[in-house]
Chains A and B, each alone.
Chain A
Amino acid sequence: MTNLPNADIIIETTYLIATALFILALKWLSSPTTARRGVFAGELGMLLAIAGTLLNREIVEYKWIAIALVLGAVIGVPLGEVAMTAVPQRTALSHAFGALCVTLVGTAEFYLRAPNVPPFLMAVLSMEVILGSLTFTGSLMAAGKLQEVLPQRPITYKGQNFVNLGLLGIAIIVAGVLVAHPEKMYLFPVIVGIPLLFGVMMIIPIGGADMPTVISLLNSYAGLSAAAMGFVLDSKLLIIAGALDGASGFILSVNMSKAMNRSFSNVLFGAFGQEQTGPAAAQQARPVKSATPEEAAAILAAANKVVIVPGYGMAVAQAQHKVRELYDALTKRGVDVKFGIHPVAGRMPGHMNVLLAEADIPYDKLLDMDEINGDFPQTDVALVIGANDVTNPAARTETSSPIFGMPILDVDKARTVMVIKRSMAAGFAGIDNPLYYLDHTLMLFGDAKSFVGNIVRELTGGGGHG
């Protein structure tokens, strides 16, 4: 082993540079043109910090570290290569892994230090393991729901919120006791075990469409638990990385809640999915206008400006590549085509943009809700594919609607609205959509992928059936 007196200085310097590189990584992520440079900065920082850590003179055994690093890489590669539709569950799984790491290290640190744990240290250590373990099971549950190995419908029962808050309360009280009496080591498993249970219970009442908020919130918790670990280990690098991750998750959670016009507590404690029976059923019989692919193609071809509004249904139908063909066919005819993306379209923040970018649609055509909403009055055709609640004008006008106040894409202001939909069934929130009964709305009934494919065939004049 080298016994350089300045080995510690070298290590600390690698940490300092890594910190700067991490901040630059996020800064460069602000624009698609510099974003990949950001990934490189992050990788370089990570490499430096790990190499620096391995220089630590107190580390005497490298065998298990080496095995663990290789094993982690072997697991990591397939996780980096999942399909873009599976990115939300991959992300949830990685929150679980991050939280697992933090919880395990925190647990070991407690037993190594107990019973002599100063109060402040015990408090952050408790925070580390409570947040870590609830994020671990919560994220596993979220990943299971997203992967559809667990039921996606929210499961609710009477007194659920009471049970959940009670569990969390017990964990916090026990943590308080440990802060005062760290020698009561038998209590420690309680502040790991109960949050593990709480994580499961917390996700049970949450439905698929609330996943963007929940994933963001779990992201924030994972970051905060890592920052707490930084306090315990007195590692500034970890505190900063955790704070950045926590801030990012928090900002995304706020964005998502705003986009659904709901508070955090409402997402976590008020299952949205309960059926809104009654008014919706009464309106089922109202007449709608429908159109064939030929008619839809003719209207689109005659338009100057088209806005396509994709929803998660488009991804479920795997229609994004057909949508790209439609984009190409219309652009070739000189039609101006843009995409209007609602913040909660998809199963995690920004998911829809990734799916469309994967289908080779240029990113400057993908516009955020706030950017596109002013354009609808000048739009000839708004084409809604697999989106429902985010286009529901009742959110603007009907105070009695459960989604009243939720910001929506104002597709109803376009000259013609076309909605591709399997049937007249209500959306996730179980709310009827008045958009479908408007005079200038045409319903295009069918599977998104094949319907868009038929429109494209009409536009490109191929096939010769028609």
Chain B
Amino acid sequence: MKLDLLTSLYVFMLAAFIGFEVIRRVSPLLHTPLMSLTNALDAIAVVGAIILAGVVHERHALLAKVLGTIAIVAATSNIVGGFLITDRMLKMFKASGPKKP
């Protein structure tokens, strides 16, 4: 258990460094889609909510089921809405082509 937490800290640290390096390179042009995309990715928390709602617990079974179900709804709306709007925004970004429409 102790080792797991330590591994988790390493993972977090490395992911934060990767995040800084990758996101620094995103052009300010796309900062709004960046925020909506990271928001959709962040909704991967749905995985935790699914397990919470689906596993039968001995104690507090109802609490876990209710909170887990609401959490799935909240996260799923972020996944669906986040990917949809990010793609809609990115579709609008067009380069000035050789000929004007």
Contact = CB atoms under 8 A, between A and B. Distances in A.
A166 interface: no
B75 A98 contact: yes
A186 interface: no
Given A35-B30, A81-B84, A97-B74, A104 B68 contact: yes
Contact residues on A (Cβ < 8 Å of other chain), bracket: 35 or more
A354 to B, nearest CB: 5
Interface stretch (A281-289, A342-350, A429-437, A457-465): A342-350
A407 interface: no
Contacts of B67: 104-105, 107-108
A345 B75 CA distance: 30
Interface in A236-258: 236-249, 251-252, 255
Contacts of A67: 69
A87 B45 CA distance: 22
Nearest to A341: B28
Contacts, number: 366
B22 A238 contact: no
A350 B74 contact: no
B30 A353 contact: yes
Nearest to B83: A43
Chain A: interface secondary structure?
Answer: helix
A148 to B, nearest CB: 19
A50 interface: yes
Contacts of B37: 25-26, 29, 38-39, 42
A244 B25 contact: no
Contact residues on B (Cβ < 8 Å of other chain), bracket: 35 or more
B91 interface: yes
Given A72-B80, A101-B71, A240-B15, A58 B29 contact: no
Interface in A310-365: 328, 331, 341, 343, 348-351, 353-354, 357-358, 360, 362-365
Contacts of B78: 76, 94, 97-98, 101
A243 B42 contact: no
A65 to B, nearest CB: 5
Interface string A1-31: 0000000000000000010001101110111
Given A29-B37, A35-B30, A247-B16, A241 B88 contact: no
B54 A90 contact: no
Interface in A14-69: 18, 22-23, 25-27, 29-33, 35-36, 38-39, 42-43, 45-46, 49-50, 53-54, 56, 58-62, 64-65, 67-69
A242 B93 contact: no
Interface string B65-94: 101111111111111111111111111111
Given A223-B38, A241-B44, A251-B20, A80 B5 contact: no
A80 B80 contact: yes
A231 B2 CA distance: 12
Given A60-B56, A87-B85, A68 B76 contact: yes
Given A239-B15, A255-B28, A39 B95 contact: no
A95 interface: yes
Given A77-B84, A219-B39, 13 more contacts: A26-B34, A29-B37, A53-B51, A61-B53, A72-B75, A79-B77, A91-B32, A95-B39, A98-B74, A101-B46, A112-B59, A226-B42, A353-B29
